[in-house]
A = this chain, B = another copy of it.
């Protein structure tokens, strides 16, 4: 458990807040506070720790040598959103990275995960990446999820503990319950770096995000392909003002260091892709604004229960910053409910309104 004085202090400083949603009440850490990570949730007698930050290496070879002394595992890092799934009061729930209960994930759980896992392991927490073109949060999706979403387990935690199950125990559990794991490339040592370089080059060519390296128990580090960095730029350029500008400079640096490490040539094609990523996104925004006086992107996702779609809209409307969430349609399609909604990017909309109207900027 977490020390009571620390919790009180976090509440006083508004780093922890009461949440009441989907019939559950809990305390949510909205920011990192001392040793407690953002997204940590306190239920009556249970703490579910927030998923920790994982450091990034920018150079594969030097990074692995510097960060890992013994053997380490390599697993795919899937480009989706991160949830922690567990049982509380006879319900199976999913918390987003920020510690919100996610009605979409909860609605779709049974399609991907054998829920007997939680009956037999009520003290365990599955850490899952939800990815695919029809998710309500992020605009990118991995190439191997062509429609809807899929779920990928990448860690198992224990309630009331910050620690993860050791890798071999996690693999056994996954096998026993046929959990949909992320791709595990295997256990490696420094000797295998040439093999890992080949794996990364292949992931890059296939448009996949990258790899997380993990000791059997303990240290972790991630490493991202240049494809993923380019894709991040391309997808977000339309809403460039929403993200901190460092988002872009950071990705540019990572992109170039990946190329350098993997010996990828600077070709005209690559230059062109990068330029296009920035320019086309911004043109899209301008053209959309001229047509409709707002800059937005449309999301679509499928639910079993209508009430979960309504709850998701409520959640997004309450928690989105600088984004207006507007429902377009919620209708039955086969045996599912399909929700379509827009995220209107208010910063970009406001700025383009000012600039295209001839406004002055002091910068």
Contacts and interface: CB of A to CB of B under 8 A. Distances in A.
Interface string A159-191: 000000000000000000000000000000000
Q: How large is the interface on A (under 10, 10 to 19, 20 to 34, 35 or more residues)?
A: 35 or more
B271 A360 contact: no
A246 interface: yes
A260 B67 CA distance: 48
Interface string A262-299: 00001010111111101110110010000000000000
Number of copies of chain A assembled together: 2
A53 interface: yes
A260 B240 contact: no
Interface stretch (A75-83, A113-121, A197-205, A250-258): A250-258
Shortest 8 CB-CB contacts between residues of A and residues of B: A66-B358, A245-B245, A271-B275, A62-B358, A274-B275, A55-B360, A275-B275, A58-B355
B279 A358 contact: no
A63 B355 CA distance: 8
B274 A358 contact: no
A307 B244 CA distance: 45
A358 B59 contact: yes
A361 to B, nearest CB: 5
A53 B363 CA distance: 8
Nearest to A247: B245
Interface string A62-98: 1111110000000000000000000000000000000
